[in-house]
Structure 1
Amino acid sequence: MYLSPGSFINQPARALPEQNLGRGYQPLYHLDIVNRCPGCGKSHWHVGRISAECAHCETALPLAMVASQPMQPRFTEHFSKTAMVA
């Protein structure tokens, strides 16, 4: 097999700002297509709010809608001065 000198294989890996290269392969459950389980290959799922679970082998996948949103920490403060006034 011939690879040209300009082939992507001969180039060093360049990290793109929108790509997280350290994460690796992550299968996701998409609501608009037929999803096959990576564990058993069947397509029966129990879909929840943030994940979907295979009905046969119980492999869990995150929903693509939820996984595409950035995680934001939730800060709650108890006994603050503004909470005491109200």
Structure 2
Amino acid sequence: MLREDPFDLAGRKAKAHGACPVTLLDDFYTNHVAFDELCAEFVCKVCVAADEDMGFDGDPWLPPTRPTDEGDWDIPY
């Protein structure tokens, strides 16, 4: 059985619902790859991503938020 490409699947779902395809990817991708790198995998005619989707808290002057549950790992995000 062939597995469907998760980027193709997210792209189709996003188009049908008018959502950002990056937000429809599995947590595996969104937790390990930066938003802009994931975004570059899609060719959207119009960007519908909200600031929150990109990691901003809504104030464009604040830096993006990053997960804080990195535990005791001494690895930069």
TM-score, L = length of structure 2:
0.19
TM-score, L = length of structure 1:
0.18
Larger Rg: 1
Structure having the higher strand fraction is 1
